[in-house]
Amino acid sequence: MEFFTVNELKKAFTNGEVKEEILKGINLSLKKGEMTALVGASGSGKSTLLTIAAGLQPASDGQILFEGKNINTMNQEQIRKIRASKFGFVFQFAHLVPFLTVEEQLMLMLDVSESRLNKHEQKSEVNRILKLVGMDHRKTAYPSSLSGGEKQRVAFARAIIHQPMVLFADEPTASLDSKRSKEIMSLIRDLTKNLNITTLMVTHDEEMLPYTDRIIKMSDGLILQNFEPQAKS
Amino acid sequence: MNLAWKEVKKNKLRFLILGSIIFLISLLTFIISGLANGLSQDNAALVKDLPDGQFYMNADADETYNLSRIDRHIQEKLLTSQKDVAALSIQMGFLNDKNDKQQSVAFVTSTESKMFENVKPGEIILDRSMEDKGIKAGDILTNNQFSGEFMVKGFVDQKKFSHAPVAFIHIENYKEMYRVGEMQLIFVPGQDKAQEADGLQSFSKKEFLDTIPSYNAEQMSLNMIVWFLVVISGMLFAIFFYMMNVQKIALYGILKAIGLKTSALFKMMWTQMLFITGIALGLSAALIQGFNMFAPEEIPFRLTIETISLLSMVFFIIGFIGATLSGVQIKKIEPLQAIQQGEV
Ligand SMILES: Nc1ncnc2c1ncn2[C@@H]1O[C@H](COP(=O)(O)OP(=O)(O)O)[C@@H](O)[C@H]1O
Ligand SMILES: [Mg+2]
């Protein structure tokens, strides 16, 4: 089932007098539970596409249909609600809240998504997810005392604790060494599969591609190729 | 989740610094305001502490009480027109103590009245500050314009005029010293509107204070200092809250990205502002109250609870406006900004 569709999406930035078209008409759709990788040269517009799809910035033209509604015409509050309860985010850096412990980061996310769990259930859910990402032993640590890989695990836990429908990930391993990268990547893959979360991920990591269900290659604001990894290799 | 409190707890030092600044600035404002008030009290407590009412002096006295001579018939008419009306005269002068040391005082005499001290001829009642000059009840004081002697009958609190302690003497003694039959002033308490009286000019308490040489200029400068301080402190508050917010733009962006409402961010900022300002103002108000109680007598310092509360309210409002104005940027922050800025 296609429940997330992007139609003729365009984005232009004006730098002073110059108007630059970064996305020139993107069409794609995500299938429920699938992991889609966005690849392409630096500057080809991958991050712009991802953040627009995630409701983090507006498009210039086109549609982003999520559960049948066009995100591009919603107001700020409607988009915020979707971001808070239906989307999860991981970026190159963890962007954890510096004054919250690992546990509190996840509790905050449950708060923001207006989780219907009571406090007790929330706590045990936080414990469960932290176990899944292998961070339950650092529950009371603050971000400043975590390594890069550990932070990314917590960021990922925060992105999925509220059981989002779509996970947006922009080069989540770019700041990690190759060993940590592989760990995080397989973690993301396994967990999103288990939890049936649809994933759109920008990645440079060639090694990750075989695990994805679909690869979309971008070039210069357009989609160059859209294929399944097995078919290529 | 109480983000505001969690942040304060984790970043104690940063909030301690902000709190100390608010504490110090408000303390400074309290001190200056207390001194201004104290000076004004020192200048004119005799008049300031009277009940509300109207002063009358001669219309052709050029608004100078010293030049006023009130006609005896008019005085009689006014004195009998209402209860508690008093006629009084004030002259700056000197008293010599038993060591022949001169003490500057303001001689005050009045007709029978509850608002002023009344003494028998040859007696004198002094402002309590004279005690510090070594004068005791029963001492004999002299004045070179006065043939007799004054016996100190006692002391009263907070009777000052033109920065000098007041000395209450009997009308007859006053007449002898200054060779005048008439009184300078009539005070009618409880009157907020002047009544017409032939040849007299009326002054409210405040208007009368302004006729005292130096009082007006002194008060104006002091009040200006206090209000400038308040305005400058307010701007400082706003700047500090602004700088705190600027430092936190990335954080606000992230919180917005994961779906926090802008109003939740404002609440967080307001809670912190109220918390820090409340503690800082509470501490400085307590400290200044302590100082008020234990301040040495020589320092004219007077700060009422009302003034402290008023200034605190002003600080709260200014701090709130400052924080809110600087918080307008929170509204403008794009979640993406923070993500693109890299690691927080
Ligand atoms: N806010 C912006 N203002 C102006 N230009 C932008 C902005 N964001 C991205 N761009 C430009 O859009 C192009 C694509 O950027 P991006 O989507 O980040 O590429 P990628 O993620 O594929 O490396 C780049 O040339 C970049 O400079
Ligand atoms: Mg990018």
Query: Comparing C-alpha atoms, which of A90, A80, A139, A91 is closest to residue A114?
Result: A80
**Could A97 and B254 be called an inter-chain contact, meaning their C-beta atoms sit closer than 8 Å?**
yes
B7 in contact with A, Cβ within 8 Å = yes
Which sign, positive or negative, has the C-alpha torsion B208, B211, B212, B218?
positive
B201 within some domain: no
Number of domains in chain A: 1
Q: Which domain holds residue B160?
A: 53-191
Confidence class for position B249, pLDDT limits 50, 70, 90: confident
Give the side-chain half-sphere CA count within 13 A for B293: 6
B220 within some domain: yes
| pLDDT on residue A232 | 47
Quick check: B254 pLDDT over 70? Answer: yes
Low-confidence ranges of chain A (pLDDT < 50): 232-233
Q: Answer yes or no: do B141 and B19 share one domain.
A: no
Q: Answer yes or no: do B75 and B140 share one domain.
A: yes
User: Last residue of a domain, which of B136, B159, B191?
Assistant: B191
Beta carbons of B38 and B302 less than 8 angstroms apart: yes
pTM of the model: 0.79
A40 torsion bin: left (phi>0), alpha (psi -120 to 50), beta (else): left
A196 within some domain: yes
Q: Answer yes or no: do B63 and B142 share one domain.
A: yes
Query: Comparing C-alpha atoms, which of B326, B306, B327, B324 is closest to residue B316?
Result: B324
What is the average per-residue pLDDT within B198-220?
86
**Could B1 and A111 be called an inter-chain contact, meaning their C-beta atoms sit closer than 8 Å?**
yes
Quick check: B1 pLDDT over 90? Answer: no
- The tens digit of pLDDT for each residue in B113-131 reads 989 999 999 999 999 999 9
Task: Residue B10: count other Cβ atoms within 10 Å of its Cβ.
Answer: 17
A233 within some domain: no
| pLDDT on residue A1 | 56
Q: Which residues of B touch A92 (CB under 8 A)?
A: 342
**Could B258 and A111 be called an inter-chain contact, meaning their C-beta atoms sit closer than 8 Å?**
no
**ipTM for the predicted complex:** 0.88
User: Last residue of a domain, which of B191, B223, B243?
Assistant: B191
Q: Answer yes or no: do B107 and B142 share one domain.
A: yes
For A47, the token pair is 């991050």
B204 within some domain: no
Q: Answer yes or no: do B35 and B65 share one domain.
A: no
B334 in contact with A, Cβ within 8 Å = yes
Q: Answer yes or no: do B161 and B77 share one domain.
A: yes
A129 within some domain: yes
Pick the residue with more confidence: A204 or B184?
Answer: B184
| pLDDT on residue A61 | 95
Nearest C-alpha to atom 18 of ligand 1 is from which residue? A47
* Burial class, A140, CB count within 10 angstroms (exposed 0-12 / middle 13-18 / buried 19+): exposed
B196 within some domain: no
Whether residue A140 has its Cβ less than 6 Å from ligand 1: no
What is the average per-residue pLDDT within B30-51?
88
Long-range contact list for B137-143, CB < 8 A, 24+ apart?
B139/B97, B139/B98, B140/B98, B141/B95, B141/B96, B141/B97, B141/B98, B142/B95, B142/B96, B143/B93, B143/B94, B143/B95, B143/B96, B143/B177
Q: Answer yes or no: do B141 and B162 share one domain.
A: yes
| pLDDT on residue B230 | 86
Number of domains in chain B: 2
> Can you give the CATH number for the domain in which A139 is found?
3.40.50.300
B231 within some domain: yes
A217 within some domain: yes
Q: Answer yes or no: do B227 and B149 share one domain.
A: no
| pLDDT on residue B127 | 95
Confidence class for position B194, pLDDT limits 50, 70, 90: low
**Could B344 and A80 be called an inter-chain contact, meaning their C-beta atoms sit closer than 8 Å?**
no
Q: How far is A233 from chain B (nearest CA, A)?
A: 34
Q: Answer yes or no: do B100 and B121 share one domain.
A: yes
| pLDDT on residue A191 | 92
Q: Which domain holds residue A187?
A: 2-227
Which residue is closest to A82 within chain B, CA to CA?
B259
Quick check: B342 pLDDT over 80? Answer: no
Q: Which residues of B touch A112 (CB under 8 A)?
A: 258-260
Whether residue A43 has its Cβ less than 6 Å from ligand 1: yes
Long-range contact list for B288-293, CB < 8 A, 24+ apart?
B288/B27, B288/B30, B288/B31, B288/B34, B291/B31, B291/B34, B292/B34
B260: nearest CB among A94, A104, A112: A112
Beta carbons of B222 and B40 less than 8 angstroms apart: yes
| pLDDT on residue A43 | 92
Q: How far is B240 from chain A (nearest CA, A)?
A: 20
Q: Which residues of B touch A99 (CB under 8 A)?
A: 6-7, 9-11
Nearest C-alpha to atom 16 of ligand 1 is from which residue? A45
CA-to-CA distance for A147 and A152, rounded, in angstroms?
A: 9
A159 within some domain: yes
Q: Answer yes or no: do B102 and B37 share one domain.
A: no
Which residue is closest to B336 within chain A, CA to CA?
A56
Question: What is the CA(A111)–ligand 2 centre distance, in A?
Answer: 29
A18 within some domain: yes
B200 within some domain: no
Whether residue A45 has its Cβ less than 6 Å from ligand 1: yes
Q: Answer yes or no: do B131 and B237 share one domain.
A: no
**Could B258 and A96 be called an inter-chain contact, meaning their C-beta atoms sit closer than 8 Å?**
no
A143 within some domain: yes
**Could B9 and A99 be called an inter-chain contact, meaning their C-beta atoms sit closer than 8 Å?**
yes
Average pLDDT, chain B: 88
| pLDDT on residue B335 | 85
Atom number in ligand 1 closest to CA A171: 21
| pLDDT on residue A15 | 85
* Amino acid present at B37: N
Q: Answer yes or no: do B170 and B237 share one domain.
A: no
A94 within some domain: yes
For B1, the token pair is 């989740």
Element (H, E) at A188: helix A178-194
Quick check: B339 pLDDT over 80? Answer: no
Whether residue A203 has its Cβ less than 6 Å from ligand 1: no
Whether residue A144 has its Cβ less than 6 Å from ligand 1: no
Please enumerate in sequence order all residues whose Cβ is within 8 A of that of B146, keeping only pairs 6 or more positions apart, or say none.
B173, B176, B177
Which residue is closest to A57 within chain B, CA to CA?
B336
- The tens digit of pLDDT for each residue in A105-146 reads 999 999 999 999 999 999 999 999 999 999 999 999 999 999
For B114, the token pair is 């509850």
B315 within some domain: yes
B209 within some domain: no
| pLDDT on residue A233 | 46
The torsion angle over the Cα atoms of residues B42, B45, B48 and B51, rounded to 10 degrees, is: 160
